[in-house]
């Protein structure tokens, strides 16, 4: 016997469908019989997930929990990077003398190399920058501010002679500008660190400045994560917030002020003055480096500290605060 063709269901009129949908229990029947094939597939997949104990609420971690976990991981990695670096810095600051000066030369040359790599299209002359930085730090060690200034001025003709020796005529002006930018931004800062170390109580003041700078930077990061609402400078650094800035400045002042309580030679007023200098200049140094990186089109200056970038990324605020700390401490000694 031949199979009968399937019976065609006669379409109901719009009025009949409306009457059927308004009858009791019709919503359930229409949703059950009118479900599309992909709805059945999704329903079956959801039932299998629930049966396996990993439904939508269990198999996917809520976004706030993932964000909190990522913040804790980032903070822990920051601590793991900062603690060894702080120990090394304190050891060399305590040693002083030529050992500290050579440490400043090595660290400064690393920062210069990262900067010149970022500005590669400007074709700077790294050798001129390295020599100028080493000369300024050693001038600070065996001379003083006058000798540091002499080396900084002499860097211009020396750089010009190096460019002539290379036969670099195209883009020479930009090459000079990029090289001198690194010398005066980074080289002068490391020379001031050496000058500060040689002042009376300079080793302790330098440590106070570093503690205030790094604790302020960490507080700004955490404060921005927890309370950040208003962007500070979205065109330069979109992740920085006004609330984070306030938290960082507050902790920087408190850190230096509390350190002064355990140093009998440092009055509370002078400790407050140093703390304010660190609180105001640290964020400026951070934003300044962010502007340079954004203009160069890069996220990190290097990979010395892994996911936390290079040496210049970690020392951007210190480059400003150590210079301010030197002049503030000189003013305190002559007051």
Only one residue has tokens 């006004």, namely 242
What pLDDT digit, counting tens, does each position of 235-262 carry? Answer: 898 889 999 999 999 999 999 999 989 9
In angstroms, rounded to a whole number, what is the distance separating the alpha carbons of residues 32 and 36? 9
Report which of 31, 59, 32, 34 is spatially closest to residue 45, judged by C-alpha positions. Answer: 59
Residue 125 token pair: 């002359």
Domain boundaries defined on the chain: 96-198, 202-335
With cut-offs at 50, 70 and 90, classify the pLDDT of residue 307: low
Q: Does the pLDDT at position 228 exceed 50? A: yes
Contacts of 279 (CB under 8 A, 6+ apart): 212, 216, 248, 249, 250, 252, 253
With cut-offs at 50, 70 and 90, classify the pLDDT of residue 15: very low
In angstroms, rounded to a whole number, what is the distance separating the alpha carbons of residues 80 and 12? 72
What pLDDT digit, counting tens, does each position of 184-223 carry? Answer: 999 999 999 999 999 999 999 999 999 999 999 999 989 9
What pLDDT digit, counting tens, does each position of 116-142 carry? Answer: 999 999 999 999 999 999 999 999 999
| Residue 70 CB coordination number (10 Å) | 11
Q: Average pLDDT, whole number, for the chain?
A: 83
pLDDT of residue 123: 92
Measured N-to-C along each axis, helices 268-296 and 97-118 cross at an angle, to the nearest 10 degrees, of: 30
| H runs (alpha helix) in the chain | 14-22, 26-33, 37-51, 56-59, 63-95, 97-118, 126-142, 145-166, 172-182, 188-198, 202-227, 242-261, 268-296, 311-333
Only one residue has tokens 């089109």, namely 297
Measured N-to-C along each axis, helices 188-198 and 126-142 cross at an angle, to the nearest 10 degrees, of: 10
Do 209 and 274 form a contact (C-beta atoms < 8 A)?
Answer: yes
Do 223 and 244 form a contact (C-beta atoms < 8 A)?
Answer: yes
Residue 306 token pair: 């892994």
pLDDT of residue 189: 97
Q: Which pTM does this prediction carry?
A: 0.77
């Amino acid at each position: 016997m031949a199979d009968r063709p399937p019976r065609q269901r006669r379409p109901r009129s719009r009025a009949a469908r409306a009457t059927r949908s308004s009858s009791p229990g019709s919503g359930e029947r229409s949703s059950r019989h009118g479900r599309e094939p992909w709805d059945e597939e999704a329903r079956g997949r959801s039932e299998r997930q629930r049966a396996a104990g990993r439904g939508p609420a269990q198999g996917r971690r809520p976004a706030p929990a993932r964000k909190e976990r990522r913040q804790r991981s980032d903070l822990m990695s920051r601590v793991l990077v900062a603690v060894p670096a702080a120990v090394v810095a304190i050891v060399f600051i305590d040693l002083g003398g030529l050992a500290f000066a050579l440490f400043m030369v090595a660290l400064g040359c690393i920062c210069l190399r990262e900067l010149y790599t970022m500005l590669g299209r400007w074709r700077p002359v790294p050798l001129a920058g390295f020599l100028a930085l080493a000369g300024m730090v050693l001038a600070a060690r065996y001379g003083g501010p006058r000798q540091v200034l002499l080396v900084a001025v002499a860097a211009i003709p020396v750089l010009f002679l190096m460019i002539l020796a290379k036969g670099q005529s195209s883009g020479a002006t930009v090459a000079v500008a990029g090289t001198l930018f690194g010398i005066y931004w980074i080289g002068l800062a490391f020379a001031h660190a050496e000058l500060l170390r040689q002042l009376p109580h300079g080793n302790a003041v330098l440590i106070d400045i570093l503690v205030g700078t790094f604790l302020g930077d960490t507080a700004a990061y955490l404060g921005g994560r927890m309370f950040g609402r208003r962007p500070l400078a979205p065109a330069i650094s979109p992740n920085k917030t006004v609330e984070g800035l306030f938290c960082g400045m507050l902790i920087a002042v408190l850190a230096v002020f509390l350190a002064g309580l355990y140093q009998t030679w440092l009055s509370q007023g002078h400790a407050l003055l140093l703390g304010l200098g660190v609180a105001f200049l640290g964020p400026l140094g951070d934003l300044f480096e962010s502007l340079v990186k954004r203009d160069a089109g890069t996220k990190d200056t290097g990979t010395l500290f892994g996911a936390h970038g290079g040496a210049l990324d970690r020392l951007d605020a210190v480059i400003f605060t150590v210079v301010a700390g030197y002049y503030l401490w000189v003013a305190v000694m002559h007051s």
